[in-house]
């Protein structure tokens, strides 16, 4: 087994949690945590999208669950079943390279929407890297976005939360960063 992640033309993206910070007003306070995994499930890197108003992400850890309105989580009764979406790349990339060559963060735009399927949310993220745009499409989560925030886009940043590490599926249940 490799001591580090390996570059691949295909990566798996797993949406873990989508929420709105209720201490900030409006739809522009949407945040999301997601995991990028190698297709062989050996390595994972965690990423967080935060809007421009919430770039100080430590406030979520201090705010507690009462400060977040959850819009999407994993599937199933306990919200601990996750769907993986694949992104096919024109240039091979490691799981820890999603945000580009910048410090491990890049400007981004997130678009969230409910679907016609009940309790099903889709998320698109466009990441502005130094070598161009990377588009993540239709990341699925179970949940519902309130109508006044449904179909809105938000500008912010995507950044890597820590270094890439060996994948452990149990960590999807308790990501290193989230609304609580």
What is the predicted pLDDT for the residue at 64? 43
Other Cβ atoms within 10 Å of 145 Cβ, number:
23
Contact 33/17 with Cβ under 8 angstroms?
yes
| H or E stretch covering 137 | strand 132-143
Whose tokens are 């745009």? That residue is 133
**pLDDT for 49:** 93
Task: Tell me how long the chain is.
Answer: 180
Q: Going residue by residue through the chain (180 aa), what tens digit of pLDDT does each one get? A: 578 899 999 999 999 999 887 765 555 578 899 999 999 999 999 999 988 766 555 444 444 444 678 888 888 877 778 888 999 998 899 999 988 876 678 999 999 999 988 889 999 999 998 888 899 999 999 999 988 888 989 999 999 988 899 998 888 887 776 655
Q: How high is the pLDDT of residue 42?
A: 94
Query: What's the pTM value of the predicted model, to 2 decimals?
Result: 0.87
Q: What confidence score (pLDDT) does residue 59 get?
A: 43
Question: Any idea where the domains of the chain sit in the sequence?
Answer: 8-166
Interatomic CA distance for residues 37 and 28, integer angstroms: 28
Task: Give 139's contacts (C-beta < 8 A, 6+ positions apart).
Answer: 13, 14, 15, 34, 85, 122, 123, 124, 125
């Amino acid at each position: 087994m490799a001591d580090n992640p390996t570059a691949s033309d295909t990566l798996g993206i797993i949406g873990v949690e989508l929420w709105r910070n209720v201490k900030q007003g409006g739809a522009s306070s949407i945040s999301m945590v997601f995991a990028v995994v190698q297709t062989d499930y050996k390595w994972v890197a965690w990423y967080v999208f935060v809007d421009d108003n919430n770039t100080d992400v430590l406030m979520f850890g201090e705010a507690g669950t009462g400060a977040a309105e959850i819009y999407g989580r994993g599937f199933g009764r306990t919200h601990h079943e996750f769907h993986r979406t694949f992104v096919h790349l024109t240039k091979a990339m490691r799981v820890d390279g999603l945000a580009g060559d910048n410090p491990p963060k890049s400007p981004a735009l997130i678009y969230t929407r409910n679907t016609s399927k009940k309790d099903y949310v889709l998320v698109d993220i466009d990441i502005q890297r130094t070598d161009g745009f990377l588009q993540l499409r239709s990341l699925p989560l179970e949940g519902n976005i309130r109508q006044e925030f449904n179909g809105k886009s938000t500008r912010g940043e995507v950044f890597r939360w820590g270094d890439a590490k060996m994948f452990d599926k149990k960590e999807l249940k308790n990501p290193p960063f989230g609304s609580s």
